[in-house]
Amino acid sequence: MTPSTPAQSGKFPGTVDAVIFDWAGTLVDFGSLAPTQIFVEAFAVFGLRITLEQARGPMGLSKRDHIRTLLADVGIQAQWVERFGRPSNDLDIDAVYHRFMPMQIAKVAEYSRPIPGAVETLRALRSQGIKIGSCSGYPRQVLDVLLPDAAVDGIAPDCVIAGDELPAGGRPGPYMALANVLALGASDVRRCIKVDDTVPGIEEGRNAGMWCVGLTLSGNEVGYSQSELASADPADVAARVARATEKLTQAGAHYVIESVADLPAIVAAIGARLARGETP
């Protein structure tokens, strides 16, 4: 995409106003492990076998939409028909969701630890007067458990929007990102940055008219825990990072980095582009 020039966009204030973060795989829960494992366990309750890779596929969507997407998978749907003698329907999506929720609530606090560098990055942004927003595919009930523990560790955005609390819906629509703009009083979506480790999260930011930064190594697309990463074959790590970079770039990310620890330099680069009159 060719950036806008000052002549094309008119006078434009060249500073970053707000950064809007995802949660799992972005600010907390290195590898986005909490939701992934619980999907596997929730489907097992209904006698369905899904892999961690399948569970990761729709990550970034609201959890009900995530379940809907998984049940639409040909192989998973075939298991459902074999077990229950009919295709799944909306009531079945509700049933899986209601089984998933208490399991997720019980486990999410175990995965609330900040991703290395997250606390320092938030501190650096605030020191520049940049507002801190956030949104998640997690429903509000799950976030209400996660947020207090994350805050104790230094992760406390100015705004938190949950995946189930907007009538218009969640990702890849722009609604949660735009709700942050309203809540934060950000002056212009073109001065906002969306940071996310999933394809729907990047699409959300693009649909909202924001700069978008994708995260690879810490997030869902690579999928390592920190302990797994420490013992992984470097060639496998590089291959996973390359695949994640390609997916997030194709989704529309303006920049792709390994983790939130690398974000301050990108915010500075975007600020410089804004100063030149460029827009997302």
Catalytic residue positions? 22, 63
What gap in Å lies between CA 257 and CA 267, rounded to an integer?
A: 12
Tokens representing residue 88 in the block: 């799944």
Closest CA to 88 of 69, 107, 104: 69
Phi then psi dihedrals of residue 108, to 5 deg: -65, -35
Strands 18-21 and 255-257: unpaired
User: SS3 for 69?
Assistant: helix
What gap in Å lies between CA 62 and CA 58, rounded to an integer?
A: 9
Whose tokens are 């049940």? That residue is: 71
DSSP per-residue codes, 199-227: HHHHHHHHHTT-EEEEE-TTSTTT---HH
